[in-house]
Structure 1
């Protein structure tokens, strides 16, 4: 070749700046070296890191040939930045552009200020170049595999192209580069093709159809390889003075040394090699320390259903509270992982609190998993994960990587597999359900989230707890997981038949083959699995009757007086009662009355409007006082807990007497699971489980009507149906009555007296219209389906939300997979008398510590502040002028020190005075907030 034929070697890809002078570029890397590094990393990812479950899915498009998968991924990585051979990219550095000009690659300096230069992005230039080259030089069909593989190149910065992006690249030839620039790009593509064996190797893909799930996984692997190869600690840049004439030619030995050293330094954890679960009772004993004879039937059925799967599918475990569904799910996940070569597990739960509680249980399971290395990667996935002491210990182990065999420990939070985008790629992830649902949200770098899920078994708990809005995202995610062949385990106390059918159909819609017929009455408890018969099983233990009463108010008294009378009578000989209200306002009002009657020492208040650290303390106290019998439980002789729905899920607490607001039938039953939950001696008069229903305007009404706050939370339709089932009922037997009540409560036939039906039909019509509205609202940012065989990534996340995590955006608008009613979170601090800030003076750890206002907040102090997170009332968080005013008022509390702390940056701050009060005023918003240590946050509109 003549000197002009080597002009492409002068193209630059990376620059580095002087750490002491950010304006001075002192390092660089030529394009060919970065591409060679990335290709080397991609090959190692396929060889040593990518889940075999993902490789099998990719090989499905290539006649099952895993070797071809490696060649394809390596080639895509080797060409991913070919678009950097363009004037729009070159002009970003004058000195390096001059080197390129000397080789004939002319990039006019004026282009640097062209307003459209930023739109002629190098990934889109590369996409157009790859598509044309595959078609023109290798004979690919322009609208077939050429378009599909080129779309992977266009997506490698996290956002696939749109037709307008490619149109601009073609229209602005001065930005994309023609002539000598096209020749340079073609030279890069020929060189990269030679890296994988030459044109004949790449031509093998010419007639392949790559479906959209395969394209997503390929794009994710290219992104991951690019990010690793772009880490200049792993792959150092060259001194700037080496950018010279003539340019240095590719050196395979140098590349091999760079890739080997970088990979060793990266130290990605080895794959998990799961082993089949042969003896279910013995496996339960080994994993959870259980006597094999005590393994429950539903647990055995769940694992047997997992082992019976002929291809990846959905396993649904429906069983009452206390049946050990979590243990069943983990062992089922282990069996599914062994069956289909998954490399980890993603366990998703409804809330941060339930996620934190689950984290230790999953770690304990991991410690005894066969075939799992001590340095398996783990992530706790929610916004305040770094506040979890156990997870923070894993973060430390991830930094100090020479940890030997780990002793009795399992897992590290790997130093590279961290952060919101990379963290879910860890082998074992325990997170809030949002972390799964965002896989159905159009957002930047969505491919990485899909890769993270596609290689695992996904376990989702409490699927009955998700509303229509969240369920739209859950159904779409299940559709994609079905397409990837990722096994899924869903857990629920029980599901309405229609919802169960929707979940099974959603997963089925993504995988090839005929859909499964719906199952109307599978029994209860039951395990259902794709392609398998229902497995109904008996519940463990003796059926437990619960006496059901209604709190009938004296017309001369209000409901609080009637409640006091009920509790005085019921607790005459002592005992522990729980009063569950559907709104925080009702909790606070009820607690004030009960404190006045029973004394503050006998009443505990818990709801969502306490600081996160205070909530954690309250949860720990609830477990200490009302948890399972044992040496750590100190049950008081007389106590009343007044709570919202926070006691409904996951907390293993047990009360002698329950009073609950009317709620949807499945949630009433869920609440009853906290009544006489464990075997223990009860006070006189409380030997029988007793649940008292309240929260209605008039039990004699036709129909019964729930109080206004409950109707706002749940809607009138489901409350009317629950009232119709419970208004005359005197006893419920758990778990026998759970499934019949839930199926009737959500079934097609209308329950209750005929005199109620007209108003119930009206409520149902309103409910159905609301479902349509919420689904339409969810659809705005809902990811599309997998598409047909000709589908590409073009426009895949068009009109999306940017980063799903919402950095720097309105917290009410960005990355939402929960309904718009989700409240805004703030960090609470107090103002000193001299105008400074301190941590709240009442918290258990680091109370009243001075907070710097300018320099970065120290790590320990930042964790304390982050633990003071608090959710504002929904009425202050809406997308309306009031909510806008609240956000604007909070944004006035801006501190440079918070911006400099990764844990605090971008968070809204609420500043209280010495009296723990604050006023927020801006536009239509005017509120006085008070933090009461016993009652939580109080708010008053001014």
Structure 2
């Protein structure tokens, strides 16, 4: 850090105390470490400036002076910048400043030092009367808090600090716009940059900043004194003239704001920085060192020793004897790219996209200086599965340092792997004594890390605001989309992403509403120069093009992206250049030829056809687009084939049952599964489309968008079972897909209402159009036909169809366009703006925002379109009136007591939390939501709502009776192990409403 300020004269009047006026030329001579010890510069402050307070504990009456909190915050910003911030984040800030690295470091430390200058105002200081009285004794007159009344709310200290800093900079020749861009990190240090409408009131009511009259000049003098002192102490005094012409980019403003927030959070932790008076005096350097060791934040990932050959890399990281062609090509392109940018990998399942993405992430991180990796998945289930795959890769990375990990979704604590990592990282966050106590702490944590194979979930990096800051994170796509949502502490989420390589899986799985957020987030990631790897089975050319355009902000390569039809396909956008490469196609022995036929809709027709197909045995998968259709089909198939021959899988199982179902499916129908000897039918909803590595002899599927139909076809003959599939029944050795859910007898084939409600008629008609030649006899060959079919279905021009279909397709298209327009319009309500040109400040960045963004029911609804859904925890009320977990839950979690007068035991609470279930669409209608909530909230034990009951507090509970039935909002419900939650016809049974005990 440059010390060129030492010995340079200050301008006359810039640092004027209430009782004395000094030259500080010599005061700050003394060496490079001087700023570590606040006493070196605070001792020169006037007693008036030293009387200003910043922190107060009403219980202990301890307090902290403003100058000391400024020094603490600066010290933490310095440590964060030097030891925690990834290299690419530091470079982003440095490139915008004339002094590069030295300027970046000085700026972030200085902003952290002055972030609370707004506390040197009467509007803040009046809050604690005994401390305000001390300041009055020094001449800083102020009204009492009561005298101020409600007007104080218009001068929060962050906003006040920004105004004071802007005025200070403008007195030194800065333009108002330039001053605002630098000062917004002060104004937004509580998570929300000020809005434009916040400033006029404060400018009109300066009594909130400085008490009018005889002390007005003194207030301004103290504010100036503190700002001048920090400018000199932290090395920016002679840099201000150089920065005056800088047009600070918005991404840099975000990073600076976020680091200031973190420095303030750490410096405000009274377990790390004790309030005064302390039990024993300590030097400032000792105070800082103890706190930094106490928080023990992880260093950023710094990849090294990356093998040059693909064979060596994939062997050492993934224990693969030979990488697939796709993986080799992805790695080659990662090394060859002009600079790390956006890579889109399109390939069928089984080609090793995940391993390719992690290998590319390692190369991109090494080249860019990214300090971690974030993997975004569509659902909690897929995120959990990915977390399990991430851990072995982390263990195999070179180096013996601890790897800090996080699983970012609302039910992460239920994941066994993450729970182990949480326990390994559990410790008390407190200042570490430097006289020997720290050694015992390190020894204890060393034991924990050894047990956890060097993987921990850091204690401090937990919670919805900080979890994403861990170096390695797996989460749902919502966690990424929240970066495009106007919400509190958005800067922290951006900082978390700016320092990582971002991997986005299942890119094809998101609708137009979510894509609006995704594209906006990509545009910001591109501005941060964050390397991004996107994975998909296949993308329509327009989607591929839109994603690349969003990331690059330029039009280069659009033609190449739009015209390329090779498959598998890897597209790279790097420094304005576009590379589109077709990866070698799958070997012939990995191709699957599928014969496609239509099947009359109706469960009896389905049962008849399956009797024929399974006459010699075999396993069939039936995929329905709605759970109601799943359950109706299962009912009839059980009558025909027997209950043991039919398995049901859908989304209306509680989490523990759902996990058991998934495990059972993989155990029986996976690559090494113990397949049933006789005929067996799995009837499933869309849960069978992805994530499960399962394999069947014959497929019956409702018509769906063609990319999803192809996903479902990927479950046919997925694995070789003997030479020429000889282990399958003779009739089923050729893969066959039967498409139903359509009225084939109509002049224009018409999808059933349930499917149209889920996907829209337009997508279904387009799918039918491109599948029509295959229904007429031409087989579908996977993976060769994946890209042509998808590109044709989603092309701007309509695919060829019979003349009689045209009117229906035009009607469906018009409705589809209206839907898209509505989705985009709704998404824009709370979506952040595009990156503005350099020099535009973040003021107003999240105006009209949503408040906090979190992984809750309402939080997810902000970045996902559709009616609000409800997740409930399912418990049972016994005949004796006591409550318990569902009786059959495996692992010893069934039938555990849930006392309503006390916090349930941890094991019982965990089992209840793991019995989450999302209510079906019946209960999400706008006209029914209030009634549903009212009825669910009737069971709300007060003992469960305390902070200590964090797993159950605030949850909604669906209480079943002893027969596992109940009534909700006029619907009869039944839950079974085999079929999950069923919504019964109202006349089925007069099921009584389970009422809670009085007072709940």
State TM-score, norm by structure 1: 0.93
Specify which of 389, 392, 395 is matched with residue 364 of structure 1.
392
Q: Does 1:82 align with 2:117?
A: yes
Q: Take 1:337 and 1:399, find their aligned partners in 2: how far apart are those partners?
A: 28
Secondary structure in 2 aligned to 1:200?
coil
Deviation sequence 1:627-677 (CA, Å, 0-9, x none): 112xx6555543211111111011111111111000000110011111111
1:331 is matched with which residue?
A: 359
Instruction: State the match for 1:587 in structure 2.
Output: 630
Contact 1:382 1:432 in 2 (8 A): yes
CA distance in 1, matches of 2:147, 2:902: 35
- Which residue of structure 2 lines up, in the alignment, with residue 763 of structure 1? 812
Does the 8 A contact of 1:831 with 1:838 survive in 2? yes
Alpha carbons of structure 1 residues 156 and 355: separation in structure 2 relative to 1, 3 Å: same
In the other structure, the counterpart of 2:79 is 44
The answer as to whether partners of 2:478 and 2:860 remain within 8 angstroms in 1 is no
- Does the Cα contact within 8 Å between 2:334 and 2:340 map onto a contact in 1? no
Contact 1:14 1:28 in 2 (8 A): yes
* Partner residue of 1:572 out of 615, 637, 642: 615
SS at match of 1:236: coil
> Pick from 495, 499, 523: which aligns with 1:479?
523
The answer to which of 115-124 and 839-848 deviates more is 839-848
SS in 1 for 2:730: coil
In the alignment, which residue of structure 2 is the partner of 1:713?
758
Residue 692 of structure 1 is matched in structure 2 by 738
Alignment of 1:757-796 (within 5 A): 757-796=806-845
Q: Is the 8 A contact 1:852 1:897 kept in 2?
A: no
Equivalent position to 1:753, from 793, 802, 805:
802
Tell me the CA shift for residue 239 of structure 1.
3.6
Q: Distance in 2 between matches of 1:678 and 1:119?
A: 66
What pairs up with 1:237-636 in 2 under 5 angstroms? 237-239=275-277, 254-275=283-304, 276-292=306-322, 295-371=323-399, 373-399=400-426, 402-403=445-446, 406=450, 409-509=453-553, 517-522=559-564, 523-530=566-573, 531-542=577-588, 544-553=591-600, 559-629=602-672, 633=674, 635-636=676-677
Q: How far 1:360 sits from its partner (Å)?
A: 1.3
The change in CA–CA distance for 1:712 and 1:599 in structure 2 (over 3 A counts) is same
The structural deviation recorded for 1:517 is 4.9
For residues 310 and 867 of structure 2, the distance between their equivalents in structure 1, rounded to whole angstroms, comes to 43
CA 1:474–1:112: 2 relative to 1, 3 Å: farther
Residue-by-residue CA offset, 1:758-790 (whole Å, 9 max, x unaligned): 221221111011100000011111111111123
Equivalent residue, structure 2, for 1:701:
746
Aligned to 2:39: none
Displacement after TM superposition at 1:116 (Å): 2.9
Aligned equivalents of 1:67, 1:770: Cα separation in 2: 52
Q: Displacement of 1:343 after TM fit? A: 0.7
Q: Deviations over 1:825-857 (max 9, x none)?
A: 111122244544322223223222222334434
Measured at CA, do residues 806 and 399 of structure 1 come closer, stay the same or move farther in structure 2, by a change above 3 Å? closer
> Could you tell which deviates more after superposition, 906-915 or 522-531?
906-915
Matches within 5 A, 1:25-40: 25-40=60-75
Preserved contact between residue 623 and residue 633 of structure 1 (Cα < 8 Å):
no
Cα distance, 1:675–1:609 mapped onto 2, change above 3 Å: same
In the alignment, what sits opposite 2:57? 16
Structure 1 contact 805–815 (Cα < 8 Å) conserved: no
Matched, 1:224 2:262: yes
Give SS of 2:95's match.
Answer: helix
1:727 — aligned with what?
A: 772
Q: Tell me how far 1:527 sits from its aligned partner.
A: 0.5
Q: How far, CA to CA, are the matches of 2:314 and 2:225 in structure 1?
A: 59
Change (3 A) 1:274 1:208: same
Gap regions ≥5 residues in structure 2: 1-16, 21-45, 428-443, 722-726, 987-1000
Q: Secondary structure at the match of 1:421?
A: coil
**2: CA distance between counterparts of 1:259 and 1:240?**
14
Find the aligned partners of 2:47 and 2:269 in 1 and give their Cα distance: 27
Task: Say which is worse superposed, 58-67 or 217-226, in terms of deviation.
Answer: 58-67
Determine helix, strand or coil for the equivalent of 1:827.
strand
| Shift in Å, 1:934 | 1.6
| Residue pair 1:61, 1:210 contacting (<8 A) in 2 also | yes
Evaluate the alpha carbon distance shift between residue 933 and residue 407 of structure 1 in structure 2; reply closer, same or farther with a 3 A threshold.
closer
SS across alignment from 1:742? helix
CA contact (8 A) 1:663 1:722 kept: yes
Cα distance, 1:521 vs structure 2 = 2.9
Structure 2 distance, partners of 1:329, 1:635, is 36
* Secondary structure of 1:690's aligned partner: strand
Q: CA RMSD in A?
A: 2.1
Secondary structure of the residue that 1:586 maps to in structure 2?
A: helix
What is the deviation of 1:408? 7.8
- For 2:896 and 2:104, locate their aligned partners in 1 and report how far apart those are by CA, in whole Å: 56
1:253-275 Cα deviation digits (max 9, x unpaired): 83221111100111111222213
Q: Point out where structure 1 has 5 or more consecutive residues left out of the alignment.
A: 18-23, 243-250
1:867 is matched with 914
Query: Is 2:110–2:236's contact at 8 Å kept on the other side of the alignment?
Result: no
Instruction: Identify the residue that residue 661 of structure 1 maps to in structure 2.
Output: 702
Please give the alpha-carbon distance, in whole angstroms, between the structure 1 residues aligned to 2:882 and 2:248. Answer: 59
What are the superposed Cα offsets for residues 314-336 of structure 1, whole Å, 9 maximum, x if unpaired? 10001112111111111011111
Any conservation in 2 of the 1:648–1:671 contact (CA below 8 Å)? yes
Counterpart CA distance in 2 for 1:286 and 1:261 is: 39
Contact in 1 for aligned 2:98/2:242 (Cα 8 Å) = no
Describe the SS at the equivalent of 1:750: coil
d(CA) in 1 for partners of 2:675 and 2:611? 22
Preserved contact between residue 866 and residue 904 of structure 1 (Cα < 8 Å): yes
Residues 803 and 815, structure 1, Cα contact 8 Å, conserved in 2 = no
- After TM superposition, give the deviation of residue 240 of structure 1 in Å: 9.2
- Alignment CA distance shift 1:735-1:188 (3 Å): same
- Cα distance in 1, alignment partners of residues 928 and 578 from structure 2: 52
Aligned length: 905
Asked if structure 2 preserves the Cα contact closer than 8 Å seen for 1:665 and 1:745, the reply is yes
Distance 2:796 2:885 in 1: 54
- SS of equivalent residue, structure 2 residue 455: coil
Q: Deviations over 1:552-573 (max 9, x none)?
A: 33xxxx6111111111111112
Task: Describe the SS at the equivalent of 2:750.
Answer: coil
User: What TM-score do the two structures reach when normalised by structure 2?
Assistant: 0.88
Query: Structure 2: how far apart are the matches of 1:100 and 1:832?
Result: 64
Give, in whole Å, the separation in 2 of the partners of 1:656 and 1:315.
35
Q: Residue 116 of structure 1 aligns to a residue in which SS?
A: helix
Q: Report if the CA contact (8 A) 2:671-2:693 is conserved.
A: yes
Q: Determine the structure 1 residue equivalent to 2:787.
A: 739
Stretches (4+) displaced over 6 A:
none
Displacement, 1:687? Answer: 0.8
Which sits farther off after the overlay, 634-643 or 911-920?
Answer: 634-643
Residues 1:374 and 1:683: Cα distance change in structure 2 (over 3 Å) = farther
1:356 is displaced (CA, Å) by: 0.7
Given the superposition, is the C-alpha separation of residues 822 and 733 from structure 1 closer, same or farther in structure 2, using an over 3 Å criterion?
farther
Tell me the CA shift for residue 338 of structure 1.
0.9
Preserved contact between residue 410 and residue 855 of structure 2 (Cα < 8 Å): no
Instruction: Name the CA shift for 1:695/1:477 in 2 (closer, same or farther; >3 Å).
Output: same
**Secondary structure in structure 2 of the residue aligned to 1:789:** coil
- 1:112 Cα deviation after fit: 6.5
Deviation at 1:88, TM superposition (A): 2.0
Residue 143 of structure 1 and its aligned partner are, at CA, apart by 1.5
Asked if 2 retains the 8 angstrom alpha-carbon contact of 1:551 and 1:562, the reply is no
1:749 is displaced (CA, Å) by 2.4
Measured in 1, the distance between the counterparts of 2:389 and 2:138 equals 61
Residue 63 of structure 1: how far off its partner (Å): 4.2
